Amino acid sequence: MQKLLGRTAVAAISLAFATEAMATEWNASLWGKRRAFTEHVEKLAELVSEKTNGEFTINVSYGGLSNNRENLDGISIGAFEMAQFCAGYHPDKNRAITVLELPFLGVSTLEEEVAVSTAVYNHPAVADEMAQWNAKMLMTSPMPQYNLAGTGEPRDEVAEFDGMRVRATGGIGDAFSAVGGVPTSVTSSEAYQAMASGVVDTVAFAQHAHLSFGTINEATWWTANLNPGTVNCPVVINIDAYEGLPDAHREALDSSVSEALDFYLENYAKLLARWDEVLEEKQVQKVMISKEEIMKFREVAGDPIHAAWIEEMSAQGLPAQDLYDLVQETLAKAQASN
């Protein structure tokens, strides 16, 4: 009987260790607070937990693990397994994907943004560059075209952008520089204070960020149709952590990406549907820029900046023309299928 009980105890302990070994716990580093921009990560965590009966959990942290500008560095050293970052925060670390931040690319919907981002993320040059940071692209964080929330008199002519201090990063910052603006790349979390203290006159954000970071509360006007471009903010995972996943957990993660993005798109559409109500509630004037003024902006900040990017990135050894052409071809296909 003692032998039988002994064997039973050993079996029970072994089973406990085996069960524990099967469990996977990841940490995901985000910033700010939960908002439309992070709903796909939240949904992904929910889905992988459901598909693995709670054996694979992703703990989503909003600033508790890293500064948003250091998320890629954290991934590289394995400080956490998943993170979100924006290309414009450190373009020297993620040069290839900055093609997606070029102004006036012609992307007009979130679905098109998903299509072009996914195509670029799958390009070997992007995979190679991310591998230098021990990072693997998982999914994009699609955002609509940015527009300005501003203080003072509305600016509805390109000439009025001369000297305008604007919070803008990446290609959008380059676009405003091209017409005489003075961009600053303070982080999204710092944008409200920059606006409230008068460090900047305007902030270029997508709608959710104007809400989440409070800049719309400080603004007196918002441009409805300037649409100079958007930023690209991927969600990445640590390569070692991904390759170390049990097969079932890796399958749960991979199969949940499209579902999480679909949820994100559906959720963001609800926010866009009530944006005019938000402007009215907060007494923010909706400013429409004339087609003539937008064309002036594009002539200076569209093709010339695209050509300069291709030349600069090619000189650095990247297949810049190939990446740019990939964006244009993917966009054309996405728009043809609409």
DSSP string for residues in 113-130: HHHHHHHHHTSHHHHHHH
How do the domains of the chain map onto residue ranges? 23-143+231-271, 147-230+274-337
Q: Which residues contact 314 (CB under 8 A, 6 or more apart)?
A: 320, 321
Token look-up 């990063």 returns 169
- pLDDT at 12 > cutoff 90: no
Residues of the chain with pLDDT > 90: what percent?
86
Higher pLDDT pick, 12 / 121:
121
Classify 23-143+231-271 by CATH class.
alpha beta
Q: Which of 12-26, 28-42, 295-309 has the lowest mean pLDDT?
A: 12-26
Q: What is the mean pLDDT of residues 318-333?
A: 98
For 54, the token pair is: 């709670």
Pairing of strands 24-30, 82-84: parallel
pLDDT of residue 169: 86
- pLDDT at 16 > cutoff 70: no
- pLDDT at 4 > cutoff 50: no
Q: What is the mean pLDDT of residues 56-64?
A: 97
pLDDT-derived band at 6, boundaries 50, 70, 90: low
pLDDT of residue 93: 97
- pLDDT at 18 > cutoff 60: no
- pLDDT at 174 > cutoff 80: yes
Q: What is the mean pLDDT of residues 216-238?
A: 95
23-143+231-271 and 147-230+274-337, same CATH topology: yes
pLDDT-derived band at 5, boundaries 50, 70, 90: very low
- pLDDT at 2 > cutoff 70: no
pTM, entire model: 0.85
- pLDDT at 1 > cutoff 50: no
d(CA 16, CA 22): 10
The mean predicted confidence, pLDDT, of the chain is: 92
- pLDDT at 155 > cutoff 70: yes
Q: What is the pLDDT of residues 262-311, one digit of tens each?
A: 999 999 999 888 999 999 999 999 999 999 999 999 999 999 999 999 99
Reference 47, options 243, 267, 265, 257; nearest CA is: 257
* CA torsion angle 256 260 262 263 (round to 10): 140
- pLDDT at 151 > cutoff 90: yes
Nearest 5°: the CA angle 122, 124, 128 is 115
Q: What is the pLDDT of residues 242-258, one digit of tens each?
A: 999 999 999 999 999 99
Q: Which residues contact 221 (CB under 8 A, 6 or more apart)?
A: 149, 150, 154, 284, 285, 286, 287
Q: Does domain 147-230+274-337 have CATH number 3.40.190.170?
A: yes
Q: At what angle do helices 320-337 and 110-121 cross, to 10 degrees?
A: 140
Q: Could you tell me the end-to-end alpha-carbon distance of the chain, in angstroms, rounded to an integer? A: 72
pLDDT of residue 253: 98
